[in-house]
């Protein structure tokens, strides 16, 4: 089981993310919502930008919860038959 914590973040906070403190390596490796208003980060040790409230997450999830969230229409375009 993953020991990572996942956060959804408002896209407006993207410039406040220090990619050296999270699992994603750059803007190109983040997962954005379909409407590009939010993105997801994951971390093992709480990043300073969250601890000092420079960035306030919209939501906090464990791995299972995040997988479920990513399956919603907000994050994934539904397949058409």
Q: Where are the domains of the chain?
A: 5-70
Residues 6+ apart with CB under 8 A from 13: 55, 56
The pLDDT score that the predictor gives to residue 79 is 76
Angle at 33 between CA 27 and CA 38, to 5 degrees: 65
Per-residue pLDDT of 20-31, as tens digits, reads 999 999 999 999
In whole angstroms, give the CA distance from residue 81 to residue 39. Answer: 28
5 and 41 in contact (C-beta within 8 Å)? no
Element (H, E) at 6: strand 5-10
Residues in the chain, pLDDT under 70:
1, 80-81
49 and 21 in contact (C-beta within 8 Å)? yes
Per-residue pLDDT of 8-18, as tens digits, reads 999 999 999 99
In whole angstroms, give the CA distance from residue 9 to residue 26. Answer: 15
The pLDDT score that the predictor gives to residue 78 is 82
């Amino acid at each position: 089981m993953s020991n990572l914590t996942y956060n959804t973040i408002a896209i407006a906070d993207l410039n406040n993310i220090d990619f050296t403190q999270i699992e994603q390596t750059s803007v190109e490796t983040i997962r954005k919502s379909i409407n590009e208003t939010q993105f997801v980060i994951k971390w093992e040790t709480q990043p300073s930008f969250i601890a000092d409230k420079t960035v306030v997450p919209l939501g906090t999830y464990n791995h299972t919860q995040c997988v479920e969230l990513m399956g919603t229409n907000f994050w994934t375009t539904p397949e058409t038959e």
